[in-house]
Structure 1
């Protein structure tokens, strides 16, 4: 199993194409708040500076929150399929062939704290985004890889599992007797 950077999924004439793709954008309401905080900081610096120096804080600081929010939104969750129906899970630069996945399940928002806290294996591969509530856990069966599982934030865990061909882990039914 390799976690080396790979080229992006190629079109139909190439070897791979994405069967599922999702970018984990920050919430929309973060954008105006980040710009407003930056404008307040620039206004604070602007006070007492006459002439061209008065506008310099706005020009320097305004691109900063835009860059930070785009950088925080850089993570992409993809499931790619090649011509031989070989599927691969890609999280950012890391990739994982479906053949090494033994099972996968949805981690509901209520269990997220435990999965990232006291139950977390230090050797696990984690791609967590706090603004995305659900997660999936992908358990590996690869003797060459010391990573026991991947914990991944995704807004549509059922779609990711379906694209991987693993289905969804259903909740256990309660006895009605």
Structure 2
């Protein structure tokens, strides 16, 4: 649900295959505890799956919003007045900006399982961050929200 002042809201969830891996981690924990008996086996299955699921969920719950004149990407909140013209990155360009074109001073909310991204220059002279890189499944919508 979007609020009246909110123009864009996206949650970057982890891919389904990661949830399968979380279950496999639980099975592995259960197998490690198999020699100790049935109760430790069940504890390993439940505990391992729960722990792996919490890790997948926390990593996969990054949120991107444009709200009240700010870009909120993960824990960062950047006023739109400090940002330049956004650039939509196709999968190939996004990969390049994650790798050999990346600047270590940049703020990057990246998820490698999201193929597209938006790169936005930071125009505030007091901020040493050259640009903001945001993985997004809807780059056109994010750029449109940033332009409002």
TM-score by length of 2: 0.89
State how far apart, in whole Å, the 2-side matches of 1:31 and 1:53 are.
23
Specify the alignment match of 1:169 in structure 2: none
C-alpha change, 1:44 and 1:128, in structure 2 (3 Å) is same
* Pairwise CA distance, 1:39: 3.6
State how far apart, in whole Å, the 2-side matches of 1:24 and 1:51 are.
38
Out of 66, 73, 80, which is 2:53 matched to? 66
Structure 1 unmatched ranges of 5 or more: 1-9, 82-86, 167-177
* Pairwise CA distance, 1:165: 1.2
Q: Given that residues 103 and 140 in structure 1 are in contact (C-alpha distance below 8 angstroms), is that contact kept between their aligned partners in structure 2? A: no
Specify the alignment match of 1:137 in structure 2: 119
Q: Given that residues 42 and 61 in structure 1 are in contact (C-alpha distance below 8 angstroms), is that contact kept between their aligned partners in structure 2? A: yes
Specify the alignment match of 1:155 in structure 2: 137
- 1:38 matched to 2:25? The reply is yes
Residue-by-residue CA offset, 1:108-139 (whole Å, 9 max, x unaligned): 10112321222222211111101100010001
Out of 74, 83, 98, which is 1:92 matched to? 74
Larger C-alpha radius of gyration, 1 or 2? 1
Structure 2 unmatched ranges of 5 or more: none
- 1:78 matched to 2:60? The reply is no
TM-score by length of 1: 0.75
Q: Given that residues 114 and 137 in structure 2 are in contact (C-alpha distance below 8 angstroms), is that contact kept between their aligned partners in structure 1? A: yes
Instruction: Considering fraction of residues, name the structure with more helix.
Output: 2
How large is the RMSD of aligned CA atoms in angstroms?
1.9
- Bigger drift between 103-112 and 38-47 goes to 38-47
Q: Given that residues 137 and 149 in structure 1 are in contact (C-alpha distance below 8 angstroms), is that contact kept between their aligned partners in structure 2? A: yes
State the number of aligned residues: 147
Specify the alignment match of 1:22 in structure 2: 10
State how far apart, in whole Å, the 1-side matches of 2:41 and 2:75 are.
42
